[in-house]
Structure 1
Amino acid sequence: MRHGVVILPERRWSQAREQWVLAEHLGFDHAWTYDQLMWRWLRDEPWFACVPTLAAAAAVTSRITLGTMVATPTYRHPVTLAKELMSLEDIAGGRFVCGLGAGAGGLDDRVVDPTERTPRQRADRFAEFVEALDRLLTGPVSSYVGTHYDFRDVPLNPGCLTRPRAPFAVAATGPRGMRLAARQADTWVTAGPPGRFDALPYEKALPDIARQLDRLDTACAAVGRDPATLNRLLLTGALVGGVLDSVESYRDAVGRFGELGITDLVVHWPRASFPYQGDPRVLEAVAEEVLLPRPQTTGATARQNTAGGGR
């Protein structure tokens, strides 16, 4: 099992810097931040941009893998995003995973593009978004003609340090999204049972996660992919709760989800208030008793592990 943490981009860098450095010091394999303009309950609170935050984090760390959780077509275009990701991956020395998701509608959508889209339309756009981004990042000169995106002869030079490109982590819970993840992703991402607005205790979420993993195996079979080559990341805290209540609950969750086939477990850095309210001392105790006793990987090894072994 590999271990990750989400750090919300809510603090000025003079303060946030300490969190990113500490995440590496505590032994986490990867650290993520959200790529949104505004975010749910915190829309009126301080909120900084994802890519500059990760670039700054890359400059003050040396081992930990960094990632977007998750970039979406909501206000991203594949061409401009590909250029940013190539640059970010270069700054990080290859320690980067591109988390991608379809977007579920909401504040960012209404601000940037008020067009109402059905789930199917968002899925159509997301499929093109991922395919176009893959083509751009594997370059060196790319063209794409689709319903949502149309670009010709776009150079991306010098390309990613990681070949053929930086790894993708695709969030998906439906059959179509899972097939897309099976085709294009190095890691599949789930936050738990979709359609909920509160967190289930992690032990009660186990059956839902098990069913998702079964459907993911089916999606891999449908596209001719060995399921063992696709990592499975569970993002806890919003829909799956209780993982970071104590060292014992964390260790228990790691064991239970690991038995199901989850390869990467991600928690949120504890905050003083809702959402993700918790005690940072528990995070530090988890590091001391669970993470740091493990052999530490280099940045290159952690990146290869997170990438999932090829597509």
Structure 2
Amino acid sequence: MSAVTAPQADRAAPARTASDDLDVVPLRHWGRWVAALLVGLVAASFLLSLARNPNLDWTTVGTYLTKDFVIRGVGITLLLTALAMVIGTVGGVLVAVMRLSANPVLSWSAWLFVWFFRGTPLLVQIIFWGFLAALYERIQIGVPFTGWHLVDLDTNAVVTPIVAAVLALGLNEMAYAAEIVRGGILSVEDGQDDAATALGLTRAQTMRTIVLPQAMRVIVPPMGNETITMLKSTALVSVIGGRDLLTAVQSVYAQNFKVIPLLVVAAMWYLALTSVLSLGQYFLERRFGRGRRGSAGPGVISRWFKVSAAEGVAR
């Protein structure tokens, strides 16, 4: 066994510099702490005033929070949201493809559809569909110019408040979804189309198997926001008696005049539902953003588990 000489030992030791003797002090951001303290004080004061306000009547809030009619209203709200988003998403893809079509009739028809439904307020559309019978007393489908009708139905019997709400919400969402999908399609490089054409794929096959899957990274985030917005927009159908969550609480506070507590009940349900949808949107964005520069890293829960596991191994 050979001994290590003194010069070799000196070379093996790391060189000591003057900076090793310095105490590194992290930069303190006093402004951030002061701002955080002020925001915390204001938030705490506001919450304390709510908790102590007798007009809020937390007893009434707790009583009506899980009432049967409120739960039914929540169910109708979720049903309207789901149906409107299905109609809007499927129809939006169709309208977006039509707008990008080389056929001027299809392109201009899609443009006019988007122009109309984005240009008029959603509340106006809901009221229009709710009072469609004032424009057409009967819904008739038949052969033009012959007077023969295959279908002849009373408009009020067909377009109920729920149907009117679904039509208004779905068609309005279709216009917005069309622009979101169109933007996602345009974000895909033109070289993808050229490569697909070189492989012998048709336009429809290229759109279905190559363009739309890549466009999902751009489409998913705004569509998640549209879903949350749609959930809240269902409250507008209360003007035609759509039996949603807001309609349910309105029917009660119109009798007992406890407006604020019942509106708090509705707000708590809306916050709970939007929180669940936001969580789903987060995981969808992570799913479609994998492998993309700037995509989200590990989540808070994943990082916490990794830190806990590392601490356990260290112990």
TM-score by length of 2: 0.23
Hey, which of these two has a bigger chunk of helix by percent?
A: 2
Higher relative contact order (CA 8 A, sep 6+): 2
Larger radius of gyration: 2
Hey, which of these two has a bigger chunk of strand by percent?
A: 1
TM-score by length of 1: 0.23
